């Protein structure tokens, strides 16, 4: 990179913070538009790996220290919709979380059991075409347009395996992709609905299913709607597209109570 390379030549790779701050300074924009976030993050990761190699440590130990390490609970996409898939579903990802697993390896194992059981259920109830997969590896049943049908199929797979005490559910909605800014309404399941109607739909879903997390449930500039939904539900409301890893947007979200978790 013609800007980053000369600036970093001769720097010590263990000075991670100094190098990251230097790249941010070189970029000089709020949204990383000059150098690009992909370039900055890519170089930052390369520096971390170089430092770990130089110190003779695994990367996770170099970053997290030498104390005990606990792997996070994986969130696994089972059924896809939205822009990621050619299915009839508006929500982007219908996910499961193996929170009852005693280890990361068990979490992955039982999640894969659910995935293959779900495939059998979808093929039987929705046809073989439903076994096509989208960009994130989830099934893409084209005839399915109701998120409840996706959640029902996932939960049926979980129950048939006897894992109902080991799993909860989550959603990545990516609501901006089905929001009409001109009409200020969401085009959802073939209808045009308001923000309040979509919020009420989420409340009903959380009451009916073991959903513990919803990502990007509303269009990305609706701070008022996010605050209302966050107050109404005692679950994780995650901002990904909503915050866009932008410190100013994150600060505003904190100040206004809009969402209670952020994906960086």
Using the predicted structure, report yes or no on whether residue 84 has a pLDDT greater than 80: no
pTM here is: 0.84
Alpha-carbon span 238 to 156, nearest angstrom: 26
65: confidence class by pLDDT, cuts 50, 70, 90: confident
The tens digit of pLDDT for each residue in 157-204 reads 999 999 999 999 999 999 999 999 999 999 999 999 999 999 999 999
Do 226 and 259 form a contact (C-beta atoms < 8 A)?
yes
pLDDT of residue 72: 86
Catalogue all structural domains in the chain, each as residue range(s) with its CATH number: 4-64 (3.30.390.10), 76-262 (3.20.20.120)
In angstroms, the CA 97 to CA 168 distance is 5
Q: Identify the pLDDT of residue 122.
A: 98
For 131-153, how does the pLDDT look when each residue is reduced to its tens digit (9 = 90+)? 999 999 999 999 999 999 999 99
Spell out a b/e string for 10-19, using b for 16 or more CB atoms within 10 Å of the CB, else e.
eeebeeeeeb
Average pLDDT of the residues of the chain: 95
d(CA 53, CA 183): 54
pLDDT for the residue numbered 93 = 97
Model confidence at 259, pLDDT cuts 50, 70, 90, reads: very high
E strand segments, 35-180: 76-80, 93-97, 168-172, 179-180
With 0-12 CB in 10 A as exposed, 13-18 as middle and 19+ as buried, what is 23?
A: buried
Neighbours of 202 (CB within 10 A): 21
Instruction: State the pLDDT at residue 89.
Output: 96
HSE (CB half, 13 Å, CA atoms) of 33? 4
């Amino acid at each position: 990179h013609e800007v980053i390379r000369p600036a970093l030549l001769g720097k010590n790779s263990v000075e991670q913070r100094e190098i990251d701050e230097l790249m941010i300074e070189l970029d000089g924009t709020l949204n990383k538009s000059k150098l690009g976030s992909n370039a900055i993050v890519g170089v930052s990761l390369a520096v971390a790996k170089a430092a770990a190699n130089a110190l003779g440590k695994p990367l996770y130990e170099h970053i997290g220290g030498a104390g005990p390490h606990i792997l996070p609970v994986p969130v696994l996409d089972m059924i896809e919709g939205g822009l990621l898939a050619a299915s009839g579903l508006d929500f982007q990802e219908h996910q499961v979380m193996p929170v009852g697993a005693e280890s990361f390896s068990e979490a992955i194992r039982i999640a894969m059991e659910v995935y293959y059981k779900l495939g059998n259920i979808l093929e039987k109830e929705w046809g073989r075409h439903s076994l096509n997969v989208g960009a994130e590896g989830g099934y893409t049943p084209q005839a399915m347009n109701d998120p409840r049908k996706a959640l029902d199929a996932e939960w049926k797979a979980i129950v048939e395996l006897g894992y109902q005490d080991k799993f909860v559910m989550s959603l990545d909605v990516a609501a901006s992709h089905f929001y009409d800014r001109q009409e200020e309404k969401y085009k959802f399941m073939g209808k045009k609905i308001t923000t309040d109607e979509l919020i009420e739909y989420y409340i009903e879903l959380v009451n009916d299913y073991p959903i513990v997390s919803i990502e990007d449930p509303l269009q990305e500039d609706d701070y008022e709607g996010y605050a209302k939904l966050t107050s109404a539900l005692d679950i994780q409301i995650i901002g990904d597209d909503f915050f866009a890893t932008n410190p100013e947007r994150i600060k505003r979200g904190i100040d206004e109570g809009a969402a209670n978790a952020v994906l960086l």
